[in-house]
Structure 1
Amino acid sequence: MSSPSPNKLLNLAQQGLAQQLMYGSPTSTQPPAWTIDLIEEVKALKISSQKVESTLNQLTIKVSDVEIELSGLTKQVNDIETSCKFLHQDVEQHMRDINLLKDEQSNIKKWNADIEKQNFELENLQLDLQTRSMNDNLIFHGIAETPSPLVNNSAPVEDCRALVNELISDKLSIDSTSINLPKVHRLGADRAKKPQPIVAKFGNPDERETIRKKSFDKDVKEKLKTARQGVGVQRPQVNRDARKMFGDLIDGYEQAGKTVRQQERTLYVNGKLTKVYMNNKVIDPPAFMMTVEN
Structure 2
Amino acid sequence: MSFESLLHVVDSSMDLPVLDDGPIMNQIVQLLTNMDLRMKRLEHVMFKIGNIETLLAGMKGQISEIDSDLKIMKEKEKDRDDSLMKISNLCDKVSKKTEENYSRIEKLSTDVRSINDHSKSVVNQVSTIESEHDKLIQTVVDLQCRSMKNNLIFHGLKENTGENTEELLRLFIARELGVDYHFEFGNVHRFGRHTTGRNRPIVARFIYHKDLEYILSVSNRLRDKPYGINQQFPAIIEEKRKILYRVMKTYKQKGHKTRMVRDKLFIDGKLYEQSGHAEDNENTLPKTAPVYRPWKDPPADRRSKRRCLSSGSPSYSNDMDYTFTENNPIA
Q: Where on the TM-score scale, by shorter chain, does this alignment land: which range?
A: 0.5 to 0.7
Q: Is the 8 A contact 1:168 1:176 kept in 2?
A: no
- 8 Å Cα contact 1:143/1:197 also seen in 2: yes
8 Å CA contact 1:187–1:199 kept in 2: the answer is: yes
Question: Which stretch of the first structure deviates more once superposed, 26-35 or 187-196?
Answer: 26-35
Residue 37 of structure 1 and its aligned partner are, at CA, apart by: 1.6
Question: Does structure 1 conserve the Cα–Cα contact (< 8 Å) formed by 2:238 and 2:263?
Answer: no
**Number of the residue aligned with 2:60:** 50
- Give 1:194 shift: 1.9
Preserved contact between residue 174 and residue 180 of structure 2 (Cα < 8 Å): yes
Aligned partner of residue 36 in structure 2, secondary structure:
coil
Instruction: Give the drift of 1:133.
Output: 0.2
Q: CA deviation at 1:139?
A: 1.1
| Alpha-carbon distance, 1:134 to partner | 0.3
Within 5 Å, give how 1:194-233 maps onto structure 2.
194-215=198-219, 217=220, 219-222=221-224, 226=225, 228-233=226-231
2-side partners of 1:183 and 1:270: how far apart? 40
Residues 4-43 of structure 1: pairs in structure 2 closer than 5 A: 24-26=34-36, 32-43=42-53
Instruction: Report the CA distance shift for 1:80/1:141 in structure 2 as closer, same or farther (over 3 A).
Output: same
Could you tell me how far 1:141 is from its partner in structure 2? 1.1
Query: What amino acid is aligned across from residue 152 of structure 2 in structure 1?
Result: L
Question: What's the CA shift for 1:56?
Answer: 3.2
RMSD: 4.3
| Distance of 2:231 and 2:110 partners within structure 1 | 54
Q: 2:146 aligns with which of 113, 121, 132?
A: 132
Contact 2:153 2:231 in 1 (8 A): yes
Distance 1:165 1:181 in 2: 10
Q: Is residue 188 from structure 1 mapped to residue 192 from structure 2 by the alignment?
A: yes
Aligned-pair CA distance for 1:197:
1.4
Q: Relative to structure 1, is the Cα distance of residues 263 and 191 closer, same or farther in structure 2, using a 3 angstrom cutoff?
A: closer
Q: Give 1:183 shift.
A: 2.2
Structure whose alpha-carbon radius of gyration is higher: 2
| Paired position in structure 2 for 1:62 | 72
Contact (CA 8 Å) 2:241, 2:263: kept in 1 or not?
no
After TM superposition, the structure 1 = structure 2 runs for residues 137-286 of structure 1, keeping only pairs within 5 Å, are 137-146=151-160, 156=162, 158-177=163-182, 179-188=183-192, 192-215=196-219, 217=220, 219-222=221-224, 226=225, 228-240=226-238, 263=263, 269-270=274-275
- Partner of 2:304 in structure 1? none
Letter paired with 2:69: L
Provide the TM-score with structure 2 as the length reference: 0.52
Structure 2: gaps of 5 or more residues: 1-29, 251-259, 265-271, 278-331
- Please report how far the alpha carbon of residue 73 of structure 1 lies from its aligned counterpart in structure 2 after TM superposition: 1.6
Q: CA deviation at 1:172?
A: 2.0
CA contact 1:172–1:220 (8 Å) conserved in 2? yes
Q: What is the identity percentage for the equivalent residue pairs of Structure 1 and Structure 2?
A: 20
Residues 84 and 43 of structure 1, relative CA distance in 2, 3 Å threshold: same
Are the structure 2 counterparts of residues 125 and 207 from structure 1 closer, same or farther at C-alpha, using a change threshold of 3 Å?
Answer: same
Write the mapping of 1:94-105 to structure 2, written as runs, cut at 5 A: 103=115
Q: CA deviation at 1:114?
A: 6.5
Distance 2:196 2:240 in 1: 23
Aligned to 2:188, the other structure's residue is in SS state: strand
Flag the 1:95–1:221 CA change in 2: closer, same or farther, 3 A: farther
- The CA distance in 1 between the partners of 2:212 and 2:86, in whole Å, is 94
Counterpart-to-counterpart distance in 1, 2:62 and 2:194: 120
Deviation at 1:206, TM superposition (A): 1.8
Amino acid corresponding to residue 275 of structure 2 in structure 1: N
Task: Count residues in correspondence.
Answer: 222
Name the CA shift for 1:172/1:87 in 2 (closer, same or farther; >3 Å).
farther
Structure 1 distance, partners of 2:263, 2:107, is 47
